[in-house]
Amino acid sequence: MSGDHDKDLSGLRLGTASPATMTTDEAAAELASLAEAIAFHDQRYHGDDAPVVTDADYDALVARNGELEAVFPALVRSDSPSLRVGTPAADGFGKIRHARPMLSLNNGFTDEDIIDFGTRIRRFLSLGEDDELAFTAEPKIDGLSLSLRYEKGRLTQAATRGDGTEGEDVTANVRGVSAIPATLAGSPPDILEVRGELYMDRRDFIALNAAQKQADGKIFANPRNAAAGSLRQKDASVTASRNLQFFAYALGEVSTPLASTHADSLAALKSFGFSVNELSTRCTDSDALLAHYAKIGSQRADLGYDIDGVVYKVDRHDYQERLGQVARAPRWALAHKFPAEQAETVLNAIDIQVGRTGALTPVARLAPVTVGGVVVSNATLHNEDEIRRKDIRVGDRVVIQRAGDVIPQVVRVLTEMRQPDSAEFVFPDSCPECHAPAIRPEGEAVRRCTNALDCPAQRLEWLKHFVSRDAFDIEGLGARQIDQFVTLGWVSRPADIFRLAARRDDMVGLDGYGDISINNLLAAIEARRSIGFERVIFALGIRQIGQATARLLALHYETPDALMAATAPDADQDTSAAELVEIDQIGDSMVADFMGFFTREGNRDAVSDLFAQISIIPPERPADDSPVSGKTIVFTGTLTGMSRAEAKARAEGLGAKVSGSVSAKTNFLVAGADAGSKARKAAALGVTVLSEEEWLTMIGGN
């Protein structure tokens, strides 16, 4: 089978091998699969409010990615899930760029994770055991994150999280939410950005679904989806009619500091008229955090609103500033997640679905069962190794797990209840769509159809990816329309989309297409004839080439002509590949997939056809706005003014690249006390060596 659902799951996998026993190629292959899967699920959760895997399943993927990156730091990808937040802002609303990024949170699952969190903070800040390190602990509301901007006490704009940098402009709809003050009490700063969670309590959720059912409207799966769907109404009066609530929990841009601690900032927000969760409390050690986690967990069912964990934040703001962030998440906060819910059911069948990159993904079809108030009938099985490891068979009684409104995972098989005639599941070695051989490359867990874009399932998913939000993002042209146009034979390659104007008269006869909708669609297509080079490269759907890597490639090639020349069959491809590998954050396996895409004549023809239809906007190069922007820095020896981790974070925040070893490409070696072999190697290579004081002077710090 193929379709949207198999795209949802293509690339989803969870390796079982210990990272310590894996080869570099094996780790690189798994990191590529994880990046692809997590990016898709970020989009489904943050952008579409329609996730297709459980929170626990998603968290396991992110945790596995972190484990591999810790053991193989040189393999951290430019599109790594650890380097991004959420997903780009959705269609239908304007976009707002956040004055300060809205970050995601790293997760903890065990008591040991929480204890390690405190230990890492102390080490980073160079605190002694007797130095107080306080945290706040507050419920993690399962809702929709918002940023509210107030100027001189009046609400001026409201935005969703989006991708953490840019969100949807939902100001008009938020003005109708009575739980969000339009004007603030007291004496707030002239500029005050308040971050918090928009949610719907369970009683109102039940009432809304009852009303929706009576009106034959959309039934929401859970309160989070109800809140998100209510906010994203084209008619703001619909949003106003829904009883939405809001808890304030953090600050964005502030013209004047509210307080020196997070706890006092929450108190200030409450005085301005915001609701602040009453279960938030201040804790001074890990034992107190864990005790509060247990207390909130025991009250979870009676709260009246959904939570999925407890968030711990370093209380002092100056400590937060020093700790900073690691790509997508602050170092000073951690989400302690609750365990997922489980239930038993029967696995009736295993379907194999084909994704955009040819991945064959097994999906369990379950006897419907209610878990946490939601009926589920599908589960991801990841890959053939997962089926073999858990010995999953058709007809088995299985334990499934979910934490949200999504497709669950199979936790284990109840083998004691297995039927005597049960047979092992045989994973196919040919594509169920085109019957071409499906091979499993060495070191990978995913079996793939070898027919590339000649496979109808892969071609369909490729075209859907091409028009997706992060790619060409053509308003009014989504997966459903691509399905329709491919079936009609109007679209078989991306360039055909830009020829749809010739089909205008034919469109008139299609159900749901009137003059206005046809004009809007064709205008949206025309508007995308001019587009950024990085979007085009990402839209090509090349395996392992995510948004960040696409931007690096766009900066490298600058023009379509240069790209096509470097990847041409008669070009020196070894030299071209070597040049790409030299780009920071691009590895051998990425280059192999990228160059391999262009070695297929059909792919090159399709890309050349596309380039003839569009106008490319060259990528903007990053500004050199600091003395070390673009420079490679190595730290060695003991630093006295800050920990090594803090120094690295400062350097990266200024646009520098921090390396662990000295080479001819190193620009500066910062040598602390007891500097050894690295300092000697730097001197031999003629690398500039800076003392800690000279380094701080260079970057304008002390």
Q: Which residues are catalytic?
A: 140
Amino acid (1-letter code) at residue 234: K
| Chain centre to alpha carbon of residue 48 | 12
Q: What is the C-alpha radius of gyration for the chain, rounded to an integer number of angstroms?
A: 26
Helix locations, 215-285, DSSP H = 223-231, 236-241, 262-272
Q: Write b or e for each residue in 74-97: b if 16 or more Cβ atoms lie within 10 A of its Cβ, otherwise e.
A: ebbbbbbbbbbbbbbbbeebeebe
The distance of Cα 539 from the centroid of its chain, to the nearest Å, equals: 17
State the Cα–Cα distance between residues 398 and 251, nearest whole angstrom. 45
Instruction: Give every CB contact of residue 503 below 8 A, 6+ residues apart in sequence.
Output: 490
- Rounded to the nearest angstrom, the gap between the alpha carbon of residue 528 and the centroid of all alpha carbons in its chain is 25
How many Å apart are CA 646 and CA 650, to the nearest integer? 6
The whole-angstrom separation of Cα 494 and Cα 434 is 21
Q: Return left, alpha or beta for 304; rule: phi > 0 is left, psi -120 to 50 is alpha, else beta.
A: left
Q: Residues with Cβ < 8 Å from 578, sequence gap 6 or more?
A: none
Contacts (Cβ under 8 Å, ≥6 apart) of 649: 324, 325, 326, 331
Give the C-alpha separation, 250 to 263, whole Å: 10
User: In 3D, which of 265, 300, 249, 281 has the Cα closest to residue 145?
Assistant: 249
DSSP sequence for 621-684: PPP--STTTT-EEEEESB-SSS-HHHHHHHHHHTT-EEESS--TT--EEEE-BT--HHHHHHHH
Distance CA 236, CA 238 (A): 5
- Two structure tokens written together for 497: 């989309």
In one-letter notation, the amino acid at residue 678 is K
Which contiguous run of DSSP H or E holds residue 377?
strand 374-380
Q: Cα–Cα distance between 657 and 76 in angstroms, integer?
A: 13
Q: What residue spans of 334-449 are helical by DSSP H?
A: 384-390
Other beta carbons within 10 angstroms of residue 518's beta carbon come to: 19
At 368 the three-state DSSP class reads: strand
DSSP 3-state assignment of 6? helix
- Which residues lie below 8 Å from residue 79, measured CB to CB, with a gap of 6+? 35, 39, 545, 546, 547, 548, 549
d(CA 151, CA 157): 9
Q: Do 490 and 496 touch, CB atoms closer than 8 A?
A: yes
Quick one: tokens of 379? 């589960």
Burial 474-499 (b: 16+ CB within 10 A, else e): bbebebebbbebbeeebbebbbbbbe
Q: Angle at Cα 48 formed by Cα 33 and Cα 165, nearest 5°?
A: 80
- Specify the residue for token string 């050199």: 624
Of 639, 635, 681, 640, nearest in space to 658 by CA:
635
